[in-house]
Amino acid sequence: MENNATPRISELELMATKIRRNVLDICMQRGGYAGQGVALADIAACLYFDEMRADDNNWYHDRFVLSNGHDAIMTYGALAEQGAYSMEELRSYNADGTKIDQSPIEGQLGFEITAGSLGQGPSQAAGIAYAERLKGTDKRIYCLFSDGELQEGNVWEAAMFAGHQQLSNLVYIIDNNDLQATGATKDVLGVEPVPEKFESFGFAAKRINGNSIAEILTAFEQARNTTDKPFVIVCDTLLFAGVDCIQAVLPNAHYVAKASADWQAGLQELDEKLSRFSANQQ
């Protein structure tokens, strides 16, 4: 995999591997939404280390709205590599009294909204995108949300508004993992066909493998080149993608209450991948 990839893709695959390792490390003590955090590492690597532009203060010019707040672990894992958080403070994730909440509070570094109540992000992101356009900025707004959130009416009100306003500075990224708290999304309340639904609301849409760096980069590029409507990237992902030994035993673990022995094997698997990356770079 690493050998024939372009330098940019292999650098982002390396970053995604580091983010996956951070997610497992952060969840080791008290559990968490590790499967989603791991699965979202490829999107996080592309977003935080390629797509979003930097400002002059070692931060981001573009804005990211996390709607599926329980997946904050992905952002923590990425921002540890960006330097905004130390792994030491992130290891207090989910502890009593910690600032490293499982679902973030508005104003916490890296989080634009309070996001524990699902379904709120798409409308807030559409409002932010509208406001940025009114202000005449060139900021781009990225909003990540999950397939379960598509069952909430507020999401479709936001989509209708964004489509009507032709908010081309808005990119929705959907973690389409066919999983919600009580089972498979297709069994609980099916949401497909997701791209076609958004297209009917005035979006340009693309379904991709959300665990392929190449596909994610291409989709972001297409979104940037779409100048007359908002864009949605429907990312099919698999829980614990990229950590084979944990995925094999926990393919549907919506929440992991306690790290098991598989965790050490998962860390080892990622460490081996990381050393292969450094061997290939020499």
Ligand X SMILES: Cc1ncc(C[n+]2csc(CCOP(=O)(O)OP(=O)(O)O)c2C)c(N)n1
Residues that bind ligand X (CB under 6 A): 36, 68, 70-71, 116-119, 146-149, 175, 177, 179-181, 254
**Interacting span for Mg ion (CB under 5 A) from 86-94, 109-117, 177-185, 206-214:** 177-185
Record the tokens describing residue 216, joined without a space: 């994610």
Q: What is the DSSP string of 41-65?
A: HHHHHHIIIIISPB-TTSSBSSEEE
Given candidates 71, 101, 132, 147, which one binds Mg ion under the rule CB under 5 A? 147
Q: Tell me if 68 contacts Mg ion by CB under 5 A.
A: no
How far is residue 205's CA from residue 131's CA, in Å, rounded to a whole number?
23
Residue 175 CB, nearest approach to ligand X (Å)? 6
Select the binding partner of residue 149 from ligand X, Mg ion, none (C-beta < 5 to 8 A, by kind): ligand X
Element (H, E) at 173: strand 170-176
Residue 176 CB, nearest approach to ligand X (Å)? 9
Count, residues near Mg ion per rule CB under 5 A? 5
Residue 87 CB, nearest approach to ligand X (Å)? 23
Residue 178 CB, nearest approach to Mg ion (Å)? 7
Select the binding partner of residue 117 from ligand X, Mg ion, none (C-beta < 5 to 8 A, by kind): ligand X
How far is residue 215's CA from residue 19's CA, in Å, rounded to a whole number?
19
Whether the Cβ atoms of residue 130 and residue 165 lie closer than 8 Å to each other: yes
Residue 117 CB, nearest approach to ligand X (Å)? 5
Torsion sign over Cα 214, 215, 216, 220? positive
Work out the angle between the directed axes of helices 213-225 and 7-27 (0-180°, nearest 10). Answer: 110
| Site residues (vs Mg ion, CB under 5 A) | 146-148, 177, 179
